[in-house]
Structure 1
């Protein structure tokens, strides 16, 4: 009886941790067996509801692509006769909507699958150099560190952190790749004012936008995706307020056991 209760306790903890496929064996015909049946029924219902929600979100986001493409075409056709200021506003609205759809689709895909879509050896320093080249005020420093994961997702992680620093921080943006023990560390810092504690604790929540956010300051999904991508690779991300001024977002990713231990310094 104790072993059965322990298995049920572990199953509850596993379900609470996010493993919606958790079930327990139903043994006997006593109260514990009925409790196990109730748990399995509830877990199955939760898994079905969450799955239906994810499919709905993904399908709705996908269907928005068609009218968005028509709107973009209409704007292009009216280019010669439209007021330049109004057209610029429409172009910005379309870009924001396109970004939002893209981020919702990615978030839905990350929720729907358990692990990275691809696992490759990735030079984080080289990846960061490619992304920093897209930003005028980004400066890169660090050492070459090899990580194993999905290059598209890790590229998106870096790009979202750089976009966030550009929108909400102040130049220059410093990117550093380092090795800390058995982990790779990606640090993206800016010189903007530190984020208050009551706002910092919500930074990685989906659709959270700070009270100071303006119309052109993103969709509120960028940092949430950074956290999802980091967790998908077995890592984590945290915000650190720098003193006396500045913000840092630090991503920690586990290194493969046979990581190439190069120490190529760059500046």
Structure 2
């Protein structure tokens, strides 16, 4: 049961059914109240009409015995000022709700004239019928049949007979029958309607959520097979589910690219580490067997190269892990002068302090990597320029080498990429310097790009936000 109501479809169906049920109950109650009110008003109108008809006969001087009281649907009582029943419907057997339960008329104690003191109790003139009508609910038994009635009470001043009150009833049987029929219809129709609403909601949500089930099933298969090249089906609609499918596929693409990049990185790193380790092992094995052939300088060079490669891999691992740079304030012009010092072919040009925030060691690594790359490709000269450009500090490293072909100007920033594959690893790098430089630049909120230098070589431009 908990699994059933744990589904979106079941909850949507239950929610829709409950909302419709509440709406139907509220609407049904309003309809029944309105129907009952209208029918009660109709019964009251009928009772008032009958009461005023009898009152008109009394005002005209009609005797009690000559009153038209034969309507079995309208029980009538005529009561004098003393509360004595002076006239009633002939078949009236029992009555409640009119103020007197008497059903058998009695002769009044004495005739009352218009000059009696009791006439002061009413504002009516002789022969006048009161404009106000009082309504009460009660019941009556007429000719053996008991029903509920809406009673109307109308006063009339008859002059010689004094003030009389006419009570006439309008049957509520039609109201009770109509309300009962409507209630029965609602009790029968509401469950059927709720069933239809529930079934339709269940089918509609099932159809609407079918693509979600397809996405879930495909994701489960992708997880089981670990095949990130697969994609979830995208419905041909423009709703939230279609956007979910597209976002899921975009996530899978990014995940696949990340995994492939990680695998390629591990493979390339293993390949790059294998060469210096193998060379160092060979030299040590030779030295162990023939100490006189020990190439100490080569062993040191391989060890240093291995150390640099390990440091580069460690820095890339930290960058990939999301390490954020520190907020240290540093002068890029002074840092450029430090990195350019001791490099014979490098000329440093600055136009004053250029402050940025970040990690001094990482920004220094960027400049060092750019200068190292320029030294490998320059013919005679390298220029390192630091200047301010609006809200940016720009560091440019230009050389007079062969430059970078336009088609390769983005590829060189990929890891382990060397354009000259024939270059030996001793002369060139591992292909990590420029990749590290761009990653560090982006982590510092900047950019690193390459274009053609004025002398025809390569010009690397580092842009960092100024303070």
Query: What count of residue pairs does the alignment treat as equivalent?
Result: 222
Partner Cα separation in structure 1 for residue 250 and residue 400 of structure 2: 49
Q: Using the TM superposition, name which of 152-161 and 124-133 deviates more.
A: 124-133
Matched, 1:225 2:433: no
Partner Cα separation in structure 2 for residue 159 and residue 233 of structure 1: 16
Distance 1:195 1:82, change over 3 A: farther
Per-residue Cα deviation, 1:116-143 (whole angstroms, up to 9, x for no partner): 1x11000011111111113222111112
SS at match of 2:324: coil
Matched, 1:138 2:346: yes
* Contact in 2 for aligned 1:96/1:219 (Cα 8 Å): no
Partner Cα separation in structure 2 for residue 43 and residue 82 of structure 1: 59
State the match for 1:102 in structure 2. Answer: 311
TM-score by length of 1: 0.67
The match for 1:242 among 453, 459, 462 is 453
Distance 1:44 1:214, change over 3 A: closer
What's the CA shift for 1:103? 1.2
What's the CA shift for 1:232? 0.6
Quick one: higher RCO (CA 8 Å, sep 6+), 1 or 2? 1
Distance 1:254 1:95, change over 3 A: same
Q: Which has the larger radius of gyration?
A: 2
Distance 1:132 1:54, change over 3 A: same
Partner Cα separation in structure 2 for residue 42 and residue 199 of structure 1: 26
Q: Within 5 Å, which residues of 2 pair with 1:93-242?
A: 93-113=302-322, 115-116=324-325, 118-142=326-350, 143-211=352-420, 214-215=423-424, 216-242=427-453
Per-residue Cα deviation, 1:170-221 (whole angstroms, up to 9, x for no partner): 2322111100011000011111122222333322111110136521111111
* Contact in 2 for aligned 1:160/1:223 (Cα 8 Å): yes
Q: Within 5 Å, which residues of 2 pair with 1:41-52?
A: 43=251
Per-residue Cα deviation, 1:88-132 (whole angstroms, up to 9, x for no partner): 44443333333222212111110111521x110000111111111
Distance 1:223 1:213, change over 3 A: farther
What's the CA shift for 1:245? 2.6
Per-residue Cα deviation, 1:77-97 (whole angstroms, up to 9, x for no partner): 94993536x544444333333
SS at match of 1:228: helix
* Contact in 2 for aligned 1:54/1:112 (Cα 8 Å): no
Distance 1:242 1:38, change over 3 A: closer
Partner Cα separation in structure 2 for residue 163 and residue 228 of structure 1: 17
Distance 1:197 1:43, change over 3 A: closer
Partner Cα separation in structure 1 for residue 405 and residue 244 of structure 2: 45
Per-residue Cα deviation, 1:19-45 (whole angstroms, up to 9, x for no partner): xxxxxxxxxxxx846974996799599
Distance 1:103 1:35, change over 3 A: same
State the match for 1:83 in structure 2. Answer: 293
Partner Cα separation in structure 1 for residue 431 and residue 340 of structure 2: 22
Partner Cα separation in structure 1 for residue 312 and residue 335 of structure 2: 20
TM-align CA RMSD: 4.0
SS at match of 1:203: helix
